[in-house]
Every structure is written in C-alpha cells, then in structure tokens.
Amino acid sequence: MGDNLGQYRKLLGIIAAAAFLALGACGDPPKLRVDRAVLVLSPVDSNPSALYFNVHGGPRDVRLLRVVSPSIIRSEMHESSKDTKSGVMTMTPLGQITIPARRKVEFKRGGKHVMMWGVNLRARRLGEIETEYIFSNGDRVLVNAVVQEADGTVPDERKAL
C-alpha cells in the first residue's frame, strides 16, 4: 500500500508540474506592434521620403490599411521589386498589406515601404516624426520614427541647432 501511495503522489506531482508549465507557456497573447521606424528624407524636398519599419502581428491576421502623420502632406504604401528578366526596379502601390498573426513583416529598402510627401520642418528639426499605423481590426498604433538623411546622418536642419 505504501509503494502505491508513493507512486500516486509522484504521479500527482508530475501532473501538477506539467499543468504549471502548460499554463506558463500560454502567457499573454502576442500584441500587434510596430518598431524600428525610420523616415529617410529625400535629398530633393519636392520628392517623397521613405518610411521603413517592422510590424509584429498580434493574435490574429490583420491588414495594415494606411500610415499617417500630422507632419506630412500625404502618404502611400508601395513595394519595390526587381524584374528578373530586365533587372529593372519597379514600384507598385499597395492599398493594404496583410500582417499574419504572430509574424513580422518588414518594410525596408528594396521592398515594402511608405512614401511620405511634404515632411515639415519641425519634424526635421526634432529628428523624429509621429506616425500612426491604422489596421483593419480598428487598432491604431502610434510610433515616433527617427528622421534621417539618405546617408543615415541627422538632418541638416538639426545639425544647425
């Protein structure tokens, strides 16, 4: 009887430990978020600047509908690609972009990006710009993006401060 009781207690201990580990693994669900946002200024003021960032998917698939900022005139999402036959780079406007659950989507040079026209002087002087990412599930994510010249340096307006 004593051996059976000891084995029973051992089995209960194993079950309790497994349940504890399973509950700990659940944790908080992933949160839809944006990070590493950088606005690279165009060398020509009348040309659009390019915004790059990462979107980390939450618990369900969503679509990024648009990116806006009070410091710009307008924005458009695009994707650059290289034609395999001709080697020519092309840029295609994107109306929306699917963000898969629990996955990262990169907006980077030579790929997906947001073009921004008319970046105001205040954002250039501050070295950052407030951006808002609007998703199909109603989420709106605010992120301050770093503002850089095309060569990665701080904008000329900021150097003078």
**CA nearest neighbour of 128 among 47, 59, 53, 71:** 71
pLDDT for position 15: 64
Q: What's the pTM?
A: 0.79
pLDDT for position 84: 86
CB crowding 127-137: b at 16 or more within 10 Å, else e? bbbebebebee
Tens digit of each residue's pLDDT, the chain (161 residues): 556 666 666 655 566 555 555 555 567 889 999 999 999 999 998 899 999 999 999 999 999 999 999 999 999 999 999 888 888 999 999 999 999 999 999 999 999 999 999 999 999 999 999 999 999 999 999 999 999 998 888 886 555 44
pLDDT for position 144: 97
pLDDT for position 45: 83
CA separation for the pair 18, 10 (Å, rounded): 12
pLDDT for position 49: 97
In this structure, what are the phi and psi dihedrals at residue 11, rounded to the nearest 5 degrees?
-60, -45
